[in-house]
Amino acid sequence: MIKFSDKQLKIPKMARPVYLATSGMSRFGRAFPTLRTEELCIEAFTAAADFIKMTPAELKQYIHTAYYGHFADHFGDQLLGEAVIHDRLGLDPLGTIGVKTGGATGGSTIWEAIKAVASGYSDCALAMGWERMDEVPTDEGNHLIACAADKDWETPLGHIYTGYYAVMAQRYWQIFGKAEDSFRKTMAEIAVKNRGYGRMNPYAHGGMKITVEDVINSPVVAYPLRVLDCCLMSVGAACGVVCDEKTAYELTDNPLRIWIGAGSHTLRVADRRDMKIPLLPNEEPGLYDDLGKRFPGGDRYPGFSSFLAARIASYYAYNMTGVVDPCEDLDVIELHDAFTISDIQSYEDVGLRPYGEGRDYIESGDGYHTNPKTGKPGRLPSNLSGGLIGCMHAVGATGLMQIAEIGYHIWNRWAEIHGDEKKWKKFGREKPKDWTDLQVKGAKRGLAISHAGVGSHVTATILMHPNHLLKED
């Protein structure tokens, strides 16, 4: 569709408030030759129980239905992997279902769990996601990922998903980045930022202390994207437990409110027809009338430079929660930084900056924990976990990791979760001597964007402290 009816643009309504009671994650790595997937899932679930001072057995008593996100069955050569994990978590005979939406699988999984609670079907639901990407050689892994493109029209072309994605980066780079060295430097700054934050995260496996020059001199994957511009390929698990109000306060005295919006767009970028830009609450009609003049070639929307699914997911989520200007109304965000350039594209899709001006979010210092220009807290820090570039991209777990990370800030427990020496040791990682507490002081509201491939599915999850809502229910 390129025109949307009022019915389609209706703001989603939840029949009752939904809360995130707890979250948990396993360690993430490129490979875990001595761990089965169930061990990682149990590690994540146990962490979620620990977080609210419960045993796993106690937490399980509350769960009524379970939603499992696991994108790539063929990586593990195991269909119905969800049933394996459900059994190993000892949750039979509860109702369960598997969810698969590519890179957005984690977000989509909790979308299902939230709807189950919002509707009254369940009072407490588990959303668990994982991915196992280490059990095939890398080139076969590339082929399997490329199977998420159109198998007749795209996959035979190189069997390499990056190729189908990077054409979007190229178009954005040339039209909106004007192929400028300064834009290339801004892309590199994102890699430096996110890999730097990853160093402070014991769960992460992509933390690095690097410079802009390191990024710009790293090997080319598909110009202008270089190795250090690209996300990780990971193994690991993450989960969240969502509840109605009564159950949430039985589990913890500090649950967070949670909402989610979801959007979609064509699997093939090729199929994207020109349309009017749907506006977010902080955008006025007419804002983009001269976009093509300011950026010649940039007048086709979403074209190859924007993600309609992210815009629509944000449209629903912002209007559900009363977010008008995300930079004003939110305190911390996690974006789907599959590539540095797609991170910039997302700034525009989710309304941090107008279309064409995404780079300013980084160049202004707004996206940092501490603004490098002023030394003061960043206006809206992003990807303090390290994101997909610096922390992990264990596909089915990614969206749930992002939500957990946003939660830790609002719960004001980021330092406890990430700073514990014993945890660094347990994960076989050395805590950096310059470890820094990245807690966003006073964080009350946050956003996590979970995004599939070239933008076929996107979810926008909003978390808020219940005492700091923007809108009455």
Partner 1 sequence: MKSENDVGRVSVKNGRYKIKGKFHIIEPNTPIFDDNGKLCGITNPRDMTYIHSYGGEAIFFESLSKGKLMASRCDNPKCESKDSIFMPFRIYCPDCLRKNTVIDITDIAKKTAMIHSFIITERSGAFNTLKKPIKFINVEFKDVCTIFMGYLSVGEPKIGMRVLPIFQTKKPTYTIMDISWVPVGTPESELPEGFTL
Helix extents (H) in 101-180 = 105-119, 138-146, 161-175
Burial class (CB in 10 A: 0-12, 13-18, 19+), 375: exposed
Please work out, in degrees rounded to the nearest 5, the angle formed at the alpha carbon of residue 69 by the alpha carbons of 449 and 307: 30
Of the pair 162, 346, the CB lying nearest partner 1 is at 162
Query: Does 159 interact with partner 1 (rule: CB under 8 A)?
Result: yes
Residue 447 Cα to chain centre, angstroms: 9
Q: Which of 30, 64, 88, 143 binds partner 1 (CB under 8 A)?
A: 143
CA 381, CA 378: separation in Å to the nearest integer?
6
Q: Which of 52, 99, 127, 169 binds partner 1 (CB under 8 A)?
A: 169
> CB of residue 112 vs partner 1: minimum separation in angstroms?
26
Please work out, in degrees rounded to the nearest 5, the angle formed at the alpha carbon of residue 393 by the alpha carbons of 447 and 54: 65
Query: Does 168 interact with partner 1 (rule: CB under 8 A)?
Result: yes
CA 330, CA 448: separation in Å to the nearest integer?
11
Q: Which of 121, 157, 213, 290 binds partner 1 (CB under 8 A)?
A: 157
- What strand order describes the sheet that includes 332-334? 95-99, 65-69, 124-131, 236-243, 19-25, 256-264, 457-464, 445-451, 332-334
> CB of residue 208 vs partner 1: minimum separation in angstroms?
21
Residue linked to tokens 């119905």: 80
> CB of residue 272 vs partner 1: minimum separation in angstroms?
7
Of the pair 11, 179, the CB lying nearest partner 1 is at 179
245 in Cβ contact with 19 (< 8 Å): yes
Query: Does 180 interact with partner 1 (rule: CB under 8 A)?
Result: no
Q: Which of 47, 133, 146, 232 binds partner 1 (CB under 8 A)?
A: 146
Of the pair 209, 273, the CB lying nearest partner 1 is at 273
Query: Does 154 interact with partner 1 (rule: CB under 8 A)?
Result: yes
Type and span of the H or E element at 410: helix 395-410
Query: Does 61 interact with partner 1 (rule: CB under 8 A)?
Result: no
Query: Does 95 interact with partner 1 (rule: CB under 8 A)?
Result: no
60 in Cβ contact with 90 (< 8 Å): yes
Query: Does 75 interact with partner 1 (rule: CB under 8 A)?
Result: no
283 in Cβ contact with 351 (< 8 Å): yes
273 in Cβ contact with 2 (< 8 Å): yes
> CB of residue 193 vs partner 1: minimum separation in angstroms?
25
Query: Does 120 interact with partner 1 (rule: CB under 8 A)?
Result: no
State the binding string over 211-230 for partner 1 (x if CB under 8 A, else -). ---------xxxx-------
Of the pair 53, 74, the CB lying nearest partner 1 is at 74
Of the pair 167, 324, the CB lying nearest partner 1 is at 167
Q: Which amino acid is at 103?
A: G
Query: Does 151 interact with partner 1 (rule: CB under 8 A)?
Result: yes
Query: Does 152 interact with partner 1 (rule: CB under 8 A)?
Result: yes
Query: Does 235 interact with partner 1 (rule: CB under 8 A)?
Result: no
Where in 33-52 is the site for partner 1 (CB under 8 A)?
33-34
Residue linked to tokens 């406890």: 416
Q: What residues make contact with partner 1 under the rule CB under 8 A?
A: 1-3, 33-34, 77, 137, 139-146, 150-154, 156-164, 166-171, 174, 220-223, 268-274, 297, 304
